A and B are shown apart, each in its own frame.
Chain A
């Protein structure tokens, strides 16, 4: 994502990361080593051990880069404090897996004696669970090493289950689990080119569409090599996309793109906004997720209409904040109902939902600048430069001045400062059109007794209220270029190389447009492409992989 270096003019550039001169057909990026995100960790534990096994710990914070946690995951390691948490969680999870409630279901064999080591049973269990956690079969060395650890631990503590439990905890805090290390191989069909090996390919695909590790069927397709055949890949992509789990993947992508991790620490002043509760916070996110899932997956509608659709979902709490009347079933706790805003309402599209206007505000009041910046950065993939140093803020300091009652008046004064004007011109006219929403997303028409003027402008498109803003975003080519970019980056975990950027423009974005901006078609286009799995040469030049010594028959 390039910065809008000269704010005033550059706002017209739209998305700027797609231009490139490399030949699109040679598109390839580096293999990544990504730390599992919090959601991925949760999902894997849920998938492998079932929902009754709880995590019992806190994660190291994920890091955002190029607009996505999925890209930041390729930059981070595990700090000492973070590993302490992983260690704690690993032991808690493992203890549950081998406890009396779960062991019959999750440990596929019984030891000869529960109070002593049993290497054969330990090997069966650890090989099976290790394959799912490491997203590939274990190497013979890994199997031997974990069985020895289980043996030692069982002997020292006098318990087979404690032994395998601790060995399992070792898997759960091992780098092979916590990092998705992609492995590169020479492409036998294209001399001199490289691609992910079959297991890494399966992982990239699975995390892309399901935000989860490959299931046994996908691992089998990797083991047999089917995934490397076009038909085999297509079959798997179709299977994954037909699964209800696609919704999990789509939610994960939008949660990342819309920066919903920010809700984890979002604070509002409840003395000013008593309606703001943790339930409102959850409802706000869920409302947008439901809107997205319904619009993109159920209706298979045009992505751009997310910014204009009058269809959404409501809970009584949200209806109260938005000041809308909706009918809710009686006797249901916090019910969700589909809701459609009237045609003349000044609320429509996800920009008017609390998940956007509430997330991008100050604790005690709205912020046109923060919202304008967020719209540029989140929805249009444009980077607004940081404010300069040594700025004189005298012109906007008097909040009690009767001439500066509204945010618009205060910001207009601020924009008269030459050093601030450039950037505020690309943020404020966008953000001011959302001023009908207070800091928690509540609808209002006045601020401090003065009528709110919600007119604005986005890259030359002028409008009178937030409905017009939604339409301007809908029509802005940067919005569709941005979603293409973000989805691809979410899958590969790195900023696009020049060749990938060119491929995105020439192929992905073009297909997206031709197909009517259907999100599922975009996912499929990426998942079945050659580029998605093609890589540059390995950085070390070594193609010897851990998988060359995989244990057989597991």
Chain B
């Protein structure tokens, strides 16, 4: 007799594909979940998810930090939008990016040093960002290993990259993102019927043929080009995995629902447009996470050299940071701060959206870890000190929240290491040269 455990869904469905449409009864798979949908029946929790949320041009020093270290009782005015979530976020002040004698490439060095753990030597980065290291651990069994979006309309505004000269292009259109995730290839995990598509199996044969040439192709390549070819084949594996998943009836996810179709908004850098597009992205990504389509997301609110602007104004956020006076009464640059408040509101929207999806007794945010980073501690002078860093979510119970961590000039990589360990990456130190650290923020680790 064949042991029962060998009858997994894939085996059953593969056996059925030779026939025409197949309907798989829901109850068979339903037994995998407990009654409240937060854990598999064997007690295993829904998987941890990770995200980065990038914004350009930092915050004003002294105006965002919670007043005291330890438990967050309130925020500086520029993070006031997070007030409803003060028990679900952490704020990290006092970290820095260390140059080690390398040039300070404005709006480039800070962003990539925080996200890759290495201060760039030139305007070029060829090591993976932290989200990719995490995706390689937690994102290998989902339809999308990661999803990148940008609210700026420009796909190059992405702060996620693999080992290569290019960033992972960010999706600039919410409508296109909807089609990509929830279009015809989306398999609703809660649908009663499931019909494997013979076309998908046919596509698998074709991709096998593509893969067969790999050795012949690699044979004459030097190391750098071979690495590029490897990246191509790694990308091909994701397509194969997507096809694989399309042939399986997905496990039901109670919190999953297909969102309403999103209409195209005109892209642009006007701050209201950016905010509207970001809100649409937040909703789509939260649904994608809840529906198990991915476990890693990367969101760009605005680019490092922020091109945000207000309608009718001749100056961008970036230009304002350098050309606007500090108001002597207020003590800060008013127009710059207005942009900051919009960004902060955007982050609040992202957190609120993740928290709005109920999963059993908690929310999606509880099994999420969202890491918000920027390129500078103070844009007015391109500072790399006191980098504003924020996390939201409890990483499925691996992070404590509601804490203000005050680092005393430690490298910002401590956060990158902390989040990797929190989501389960087996790593004990991260970063290079003076940015290397083996110290997590133990205050927030469970």
For A61, the chain B residues whose CB sits under 8 A away are 155-156, 166, 169
Contact B209 A269 (CB under 8 A): no
Closest to B231 in A: A77
Contact B105 A386 (CB under 8 A): yes
For A546, the chain B residues whose CB sits under 8 A away are 216-217, 220
For B216, the chain A residues whose CB sits under 8 A away are 139, 141, 546
Give the contacting residue for B171; candidates A81, A139, A364; CB below 8 A: A81
A148 to B212, CA, bound (A): 12
A54 interface contact, C-beta 8 A: no
Contact B220 A76 (CB under 8 A): no
Contact B169 A83 (CB under 8 A): no
B315 interface contact, C-beta 8 A: yes
For A363, the chain B residues whose CB sits under 8 A away are 269, 307, 309, 316
B176 interface contact, C-beta 8 A: yes
Give the contacting residue for B222; candidates A166, A397, A539; CB below 8 A: A539
Closest to B324 in A: A397
A271 interface contact, C-beta 8 A: yes
A163 to B202, CA, bound (A): 8
A189 to B199, CA, bound (A): 52
Contact B383 A389 (CB under 8 A): yes
Contact A538 B154 (CB under 8 A): no
Interface string of B70-108 (1 = CB under 8 A from A): 000000000000000000000000000000000111101
Closest to A387 in B: B106
Interface string of B214-243 (1 = CB under 8 A from A): 001101111101011101111110110000
Give the contacting residue for A271; candidates B144, B154, B205, B311; CB below 8 A: B311
Contact A269 B311 (CB under 8 A): yes
Contact A394 B325 (CB under 8 A): yes
Closest to B313 in A: A364
Binds B, one of A102-110, A174-182, A243-251: A174-182
Closest to A65 in B: B165
Interface string of A367-402 (1 = CB under 8 A from B): 000000000000000000111111111101111000
For B146, the chain A residues whose CB sits under 8 A away are 80
Binds B, one of A150-158, A223-231, A292-300, A521-529: A150-158
Query: What is the minimal beta-carbon distance from B329 to any residue of chain A, in angstroms?
Result: 15
For A403, the chain B residues whose CB sits under 8 A away are none
Contact B206 A149 (CB under 8 A): yes
A342 to B319, CA, bound (A): 36
For A181, the chain B residues whose CB sits under 8 A away are 217, 220-221, 225
Contact A364 B315 (CB under 8 A): yes
Contact B381 A389 (CB under 8 A): yes
Contact A540 B220 (CB under 8 A): yes
B213 interface contact, C-beta 8 A: yes
B141 interface contact, C-beta 8 A: no
For A149, the chain B residues whose CB sits under 8 A away are 205-206, 208-209
Task: State which residues 381-424 of B face A: CB under 8 Å.
Answer: 381-384
Contact A167 B166 (CB under 8 A): no
Closest to B220 in A: A542
Give the contacting residue for B235; candidates A80, A139, A146, A398; CB below 8 A: A80
Query: What is the minimal beta-carbon distance from A70 to any residue of chain B, in angstroms?
Result: 14
Query: What is the minimal beta-carbon distance from B222 to any residue of chain A, in angstroms?
Result: 3
Contact B307 A83 (CB under 8 A): no
Contact A156 B322 (CB under 8 A): no
Query: What is the minimal beta-carbon distance from B81 to any residue of chain A, in angstroms?
Result: 26
Contact B220 A184 (CB under 8 A): yes
Known contacts A175-B232, A362-B315, A362-B319; A169/B309 CB under 8 A: no
Known contacts A79-B162, A267-B268, A386-B106; A84/B239 CB under 8 A: yes
For B162, the chain A residues whose CB sits under 8 A away are 79
A422 interface contact, C-beta 8 A: no
Contact A397 B325 (CB under 8 A): yes
B168 interface contact, C-beta 8 A: yes
A91 to B155, CA, bound (A): 23
Of the four ranges (under 10, 10 to 19, 20 to 34, 35 or more), the interface on chain A belongs to 35 or more
Contact A397 B323 (CB under 8 A): yes
Closest to B233 in A: A175
Contact A544 B219 (CB under 8 A): yes
Contact A391 B205 (CB under 8 A): no
A156 to B17, CA, bound (A): 10
Task: State which residues 3-35 of A face B: CB under 8 Å.
Answer: 30, 33
Contact A83 B382 (CB under 8 A): no
What is the total number of residues of chain B having a CB less than 8 Å from a CB of chain A?
A: 80
- Among B103, B228, B269, find the residue whose CB has the most chain A CB atoms closer than 10 A: B228
Contact B169 A60 (CB under 8 A): yes
- Among A83, A176, A178, A546, find the residue whose CB has the most chain B CB atoms closer than 10 A: A83
Query: What is the minimal beta-carbon distance from B1 to any residue of chain A, in angstroms?
Result: 32
Interface string of A70-91 (1 = CB under 8 A from B): 0010011111111110010001
Query: What is the minimal beta-carbon distance from A387 to any residue of chain B, in angstroms?
Result: 5
A545 interface contact, C-beta 8 A: yes
Known contacts A363-B269, A363-B307; A82/B316 CB under 8 A: no
B348 interface contact, C-beta 8 A: no
For B210, the chain A residues whose CB sits under 8 A away are 170, 173-175
A514 interface contact, C-beta 8 A: no
B148 interface contact, C-beta 8 A: yes
Closest to B208 in A: A149
Contact B202 A540 (CB under 8 A): no
A61 to B157, CA, bound (A): 10
A98 to B392, CA, bound (A): 50
For A398, the chain B residues whose CB sits under 8 A away are 325
A145 interface contact, C-beta 8 A: yes
Contact A267 B165 (CB under 8 A): no
Task: State which residues 341-378 of A face B: CB under 8 Å.
Answer: 362-365
Give the contacting residue for B165; candidates A76, A385, A388; CB below 8 A: A76
For B180, the chain A residues whose CB sits under 8 A away are 84
A79 to B171, CA, bound (A): 13
Give the contacting residue for B314; candidates A78, A265, A269, A543; CB below 8 A: A269
Contact A399 B323 (CB under 8 A): yes
B27 interface contact, C-beta 8 A: no
For A77, the chain B residues whose CB sits under 8 A away are 164, 166, 227-229, 231-232, 235
Closest to B199 in A: A157
Closest to A549 in B: B216
A209 to B70, CA, bound (A): 65
A540 to B226, CA, bound (A): 10
Interface string of A292-316 (1 = CB under 8 A from B): 0000000000000000000000000
- Among A167, A169, A362, find the residue whose CB has the most chain B CB atoms closer than 10 A: A362
A271 to B309, CA, bound (A): 12
The 4 closest A-B pairs by CB, nearest first: A539-B222, A364-B314, A153-B202, A75-B165
**What are 24 of the A-B contact pairs (CB < 8 Å)?**
A63-B165, A75-B165, A76-B164, A77-B166, A78-B231, A78-B232, A79-B162, A80-B235, A81-B168, A152-B202, A157-B198, A170-B206, A175-B233, A181-B217, A265-B156, A386-B103, A389-B383, A393-B323, A396-B323, A397-B333, A542-B219, A543-B220, A544-B219, A546-B220
| Residues of A participating in the B interface, judged by any CB pair closer than 8 Å | 30, 33, 58, 60-61, 63, 65, 72, 75-84, 87, 91, 139, 141-142, 145-146, 148-149, 152-153, 156-157, 162-163, 166-167, 169-170, 173-176, 178-179, 181, 183-184, 265, 267, 269, 271-272, 362-365, 385-394, 396-399, 410, 439, 538-540, 542-546
